[in-house]
Amino acid sequence: MSHSAASAPVRRSLLVTLLGWMVILGSAALSVISFFSFLMILAGSYGTQNTELSRFLLIVVAPPASFVAGIGLLRRWRWAWVYLVAGLLLAIGWQVLEGMRPAKPAVTTTVLPSGVKSTVYHSGSSFSLPLTAVLGGVLVFALTPGVRREFWV
């Protein structure tokens, strides 16, 4: 009895496995920072008083979620592929927006109502063309038919 092509097991890509391990290792390291940032927020530490939701999601939620998604990439779970593609699209979009942002002056000095001078040093845009190229390359790889087939069979 011959097996049809539809019932043949999909070959697992070494690159997808390596990507899964890189996501696991990177997010595990960032989860340590995430944990301590969350403790600082819970304690009401100075500097966390005006925490924005987007920053909270990026710093506290994304690393542990990415750790679980890395395991999902190894197990070829569909939602992990969707998480990867969505995260890459968000990161590329963020980089494009950063690249389009107008430059601020390097130093801004203002006088507060109390008469004290306040000086702010701007770090500039966080746009990185090499990072955007790498993110784009990983996105193109994730969208190839062979990789999609591993998650959608």
pLDDT class for 53, splitting at 50, 70, 90?
confident
Q: Say if residue 35's pLDDT is above 60.
A: yes
Q: Is residue 85 part of a domain?
A: yes
> If you average pLDDT over residues 90-100, what whole number do you get?
89
Q: Is residue 34 part of a domain?
A: yes
Residue among 73, 91, 82, 74 nearest 136 (CA):
91
Structural contact between residues 67 and 28, judged by C-beta atoms closer than 8 angstroms: yes
pLDDT class for 1, splitting at 50, 70, 90?
very low
Q: Is residue 4 part of a domain?
A: no
pLDDT class for 139, splitting at 50, 70, 90?
very high
Q: Is residue 2 part of a domain?
A: no
Q: Is residue 6 part of a domain?
A: no
> If you average pLDDT over residues 59-66, what whole number do you get?
95
The number of distinct structural domains making up the chain is 1
Q: Is residue 3 part of a domain?
A: no
What is the separation of C-alpha 143 from the centre of its chain, rounded to a whole number of angstroms?
17
Strand partners, 117: 111
- Return the pLDDT at 2: 47
Tokens representing 150?
A: 């591993």
Q: Is residue 109 part of a domain?
A: yes
Please state, in angstroms and rounded to a whole number, the distance separating the CA atoms of residues 56 and 48. Answer: 10
Tell me if the pTM is above 0.75: yes
- Return the pLDDT at 50: 63
Supply the range of the domain harboring residue 98. 11-152
pLDDT class for 130, splitting at 50, 70, 90?
very high
Q: Is residue 1 part of a domain?
A: no
